[in-house]
Chains A and B, each alone.
Chain A
Amino acid sequence: MSTIKQFLYVNRKAPYGTVYALESLEVVLIGAAFEQDVRLLFMDDGVFQLVKGQDSSDSEIKNFSPTYNALGDYDINKIYVDKQSLEERGLSLDDLLHLTWEDEDEDWAEKDSIVLVDRSEIVALMDDAEVVLSF
């Protein structure tokens, strides 16, 4: 039997200027494949990763934001977004992708994955984590 650890992925970079966001997403999916307890935190420019309406039709770069919609299917449903980082960027929860998961214990009811958190809640998230992976 394998050990399940609580992983916290801290995402602080905007999606396209560097490769951090894409790399994080790949590592997150690997972690989920090993059935670990995965939590994602988006703060600072990392909140830009979840902005909806990303459109690569005029770019050479691939829009990888639809992949976030698949996280629920991998049982990744604890996605925390820093409220203060959103506000500093003129954004709100409505500007983000609507990420959901289906709760097996409640007849597959669709539930929201994103939870807005303040800095004191981030302190607790980091404190609770057994492994922190930084991107």
Chain B
Amino acid sequence: MLHIVNKSPFEKNSLESCLSCAKDGSVVLLIEDGVYGALKGSSVSDALQGAMSKVKVYALESDVKLRGIADKVMDGINLTDVNGFVDLAAEQDKTQSWL
């Protein structure tokens, strides 16, 4: 399953809810303001780091760059482009968007 998070984890609990519901082996994709969850050394980075042992985490690179945080993304997060986004959606059987 592909979980998509597009809200800032500092403003909404979307990422927290997503991580608590994501099954082992599923994929989490951070887009739009959701990419702020990829910041290293933040108050939510430990939660995401901890989840990486069971889920694979991607972030949309164009949204990361737009927000000026490309050099602040924590290790273990895979940056992808829109083609990668399409591939992830096609590979996974279904998608849950944590709006």
Q: In the bound complex, do residue A14 and residue B36 qualify as a contact, i.e. CB atoms below 8 Å apart?
A: yes
B interface footprint on A53-72 (CB within 8 Å = 1, 0 otherwise): 11111110101010000000
CB distance from A28 to the nearest CB of B (A): 20
Q: In the bound complex, do residue A17 and residue B62 qualify as a contact, i.e. CB atoms below 8 Å apart?
A: no
| B22: interface (CB < 8 Å) | no
| B16: interface (CB < 8 Å) | no
| A119: interface (CB < 8 Å) | no
* Pair count A-B, CB < 8 A: 75
| A89: interface (CB < 8 Å) | yes
| B68: interface (CB < 8 Å) | yes
Stretch of A43-51, A73-81, A100-108, A110-118 on the interface side? A43-51
CA A86 to CA B41, docked complex, whole Å:
11
CA A44 to CA B42, docked complex, whole Å:
13
A interface footprint on B14-37 (CB within 8 Å = 1, 0 otherwise): 000000000000000000110010
Interface residues of B (CB under 8 A from A): 6-8, 10-11, 32-33, 36, 39-43, 45, 61-63, 65-72, 81
Q: Besides the contacts A48-B67, A51-B69, A90-B42, what 19 more A-B pairs have beta carbons closer than 8 Å?
A: A14-B11, A14-B67, A16-B33, A16-B63, A16-B66, A17-B6, A45-B36, A51-B68, A53-B70, A54-B66, A55-B70, A58-B65, A59-B65, A63-B66, A65-B68, A89-B10, A89-B42, A90-B40, A90-B45
Interface residues of A (CB under 8 A from B): 13-17, 44-45, 48, 51-59, 61, 63, 65, 88-91, 95
